[in-house]
Chains A and B, each alone.
Chain A
Amino acid sequence: MTLVNDVPFDRRERGTRKAERQPGGAKDTPTYYGHPALKAAPWGWLVWSYIFVAGTAGAAQVIGTAAQLSGREDLKPVRDNGRIIGMLGALAGAPLLIADLHTPKRFYNMLRIFRSTSPMSIGTFTLLSFSGFTGLTVLPQALRRLFPFWRGKKAVETVADVAQFPAAVAGLGMTSYTAALLSATSSPLWAAAPKELGGRFAASSVASGAAALALVEELNDRPANARLLGKLALVATAANLVFSRLSRLKYRERKVEAAIDADPATATAYRAATVIGVGVPLFCLGVSLLSGRHSRRLSLTASLATLAGGLLMRKAVMQAGENSANNSAISLTFAREDGGRGELPPGARPLIPAEDGTRRRRLH
């Protein structure tokens, strides 16, 4: 940016293109020459990949805790792997978020204040506690590997087992706070169905967590555990399907669907996420469940599909949310007195039938 009278002068290319009204929203809602009425979140792949990683890690820890609660010896590896995946997720999460900051040098300011109204503030402290407690839970494995001859094993074991529960609780938070983060914005698609988005992220996270653990179990030739985790993944994926359908209905009702359908890239990503993330696993797990036999190939494909679908779903939801903010037809319809549903409350100002303010009108 060149400096003019020591004021930076942004010499963006002089693109004089005419703002056009974008498709979507209600036909009779005027817009200001189609110029965006909201600003989309300035987030990219760093954020949606973080959401996926955080969700999976949180869920893995939760499933690990369930395994520990069952007390079954055969599920011990599930607990240990749950802890490891949780730790890996936590270790990857913070750098992803810091890299997304536009003034990363001040990342520590996230810990400056706690605001209950800000899911990002809640999330910061959730991620912090989750990382802490997960760290404690993996302590025994870490010590065993680093100091094999270390004798004080017993004490560390109990600390890890005790830390397991707060880690699990934080894990639950990790699966859903990101949904609250998106819903607590004004981007129409994210704000249209907060409950459904919460359920969807949680279900998808648990499915991914289970899928990840199942994958590890399958690769370590423990098909029984993999099959058991597959069942859990199946249930979670089913819940995910339910919540996706419910949110689709809400999007139609609030007329924000164009945010998904109008842009080809988002539309394909969104559909692919459902097909891969929900369709394939349901099919594979369903077949292996009904046939009674455990097929290694089906289990692996289900796990991988769930993971890939989960990631893709976060990307698609993020992109669709940003499209809805950049489309003033959608955002101004969404923010109408009737929320875009089509019935204005009595006494609301009459909607003036006009495209973008250029047609003549006579005000009564």
Chain B
Amino acid sequence: MTEAWDTAKPWISKSAGMIEGSLHPRVLDYTDSFIDEVIPNESELTAGVTIEPGKSYGFFTDTTLCIGCKACEVACKEWNQLPAEEQGMSGMSYDNTRGLSSSTWRHVTFVEKVDREHTDDMQPFQSNWLMMSDVCKHCANAPCLEACPTGALFRTEFDTVVVQQDICNGCGYCVPACPFGVVDLDMSDGKAHKCTLCYDRLKGGLEPACAKSCPTDSIQFGEWDDLYERAQERVEDLHERGATNAYLYGTPGAPGATGGLERLQAFFLLSDRPEVYGLPAAPTRPSRRVAPALGTGLATAASLALAAIFLFSGKRR
């Protein structure tokens, strides 16, 4: 029995029986087929988490559990009613949605690295065909938020980063600011869009749609500290089992949380170089480059201004 797994479902008790109850005790409060309204705090049943404003929430995406089924992509689009794009087959293994965009807020990457001679002693969990569900990182020092001149991008009471559709005027500055190429401008409605970590669902006590739908709980939602602790235990457990290449991406001090970003609210457990998944290994926080650029610029302009004053100070010819 691995520790890492229990904390994922804290209510698991060691009952007798074939499967230690994978269901929350509150399931016994709703036994009618027609229920009268949304189950209050449904997130307790689906993720073992009670959502309260003021706490810091995020995703832990354990790619070693990912079976590349894309339920997260579909659940996100169905909840947020995002359009599908008819782009035809991509030739990028089973990934035909190609990347995050204004209408694709969850995207599963597929990388085939099949080691034909060693498929009968593969390392535990995912191997040979790397699948990862990519999403907005909801960075602690979010570059998109820092760049946004209208305040449309803001940090919510759940410590997540959201584009407020009633404020955004489509200036597009967040798009180049994002070090992960996540946020995108939708040319048809003129606004920036990205994953909101289901801000409206969190307000209703509901677990984000992708985390709830994920069949193997590769996407886990919860309070950041719990997720981080669970993730560290998971990495140790994987190393013990022989998956020595497993590491965290986006936690303090790890790849992905470098250059002043501090930490990513949505962090990952990867088993290969970040670039293989299309992720930067050491992204930086763009707002650190404001001072050097502006400073040098002003200094140059000022010194040239002095030169002008000097040139103009001579007597009239």
- A361 (CB) vs chain B CBs: closest residue: B113
- B143 (CB) vs chain A CBs: closest residue: A186
**Interface membership of B184, Cβ < 8 A:** yes
A120 contact from B173, B277, B292, Cβ within 8 A? B173
CB pair B290 A186 closer than 8 Å: no
In whole angstroms, how far apart are the Cα atoms of A231 and B301 in the complex?
15
B87 contact from A14, A62, A107, A360, Cβ within 8 A? A14
Q: B190 contacts which chain A residues (CB < 8 A)?
A: 101-103
CB pair B115 A235 closer than 8 Å: no
**Interface membership of B99, Cβ < 8 A:** yes
Q: A332 contacts which chain B residues (CB < 8 A)?
A: 275, 278, 280-281
In chain B, positions 189-219 with a C-beta closer than 8 Å to chain A are: 190-191
CB pair B296 A195 closer than 8 Å: yes
Given contacts A35-B99, A118-B173, A357-B112, contact A7 B82 (CB under 8 A): yes
CB pair B287 A184 closer than 8 Å: yes
**Interface membership of A323, Cβ < 8 A:** no
Given contacts A113-B150, A360-B114, contact A119 B176 (CB under 8 A): no
Residue among A100, A196, A232 with most chain B CB within 10 A: A232
Render B142-154 as a binary contact track against A, CB cut-off 8 A, 1 for contact: 0100111111100
CB B208 to nearest CB in A, in angstroms, measures 19
CB pair B296 A199 closer than 8 Å: yes
Query: Dominant SS at the B interface?
Result: loop
In whole angstroms, how far apart are the Cα atoms of A194 and B85 in the complex?
37
CB A32 to nearest CB in B, in angstroms, measures 3
Given contacts A41-B172, A362-B118, contact A179 B293 (CB under 8 A): yes
CB A335 to nearest CB in B, in angstroms, measures 3
Q: Can you show 7 pairs from A to B with CB atoms below 8 A apart?
A: A10-B84, A102-B190, A124-B149, A168-B305, A184-B293, A186-B284, A337-B281
CB B309 to nearest CB in A, in angstroms, measures 5
**Interface membership of B302, Cβ < 8 A:** yes
**Interface membership of B69, Cβ < 8 A:** no
**Interface membership of B168, Cβ < 8 A:** yes
In whole angstroms, how far apart are the Cα atoms of A236 and B111 in the complex?
51
CB pair B175 A19 closer than 8 Å: no
Render B263-287 as a binary contact track against A, CB cut-off 8 A, 1 for contact: 0000000011101111111111011
**Interface membership of A224, Cβ < 8 A:** yes
In whole angstroms, how far apart are the Cα atoms of A187 and B283 in the complex?
11
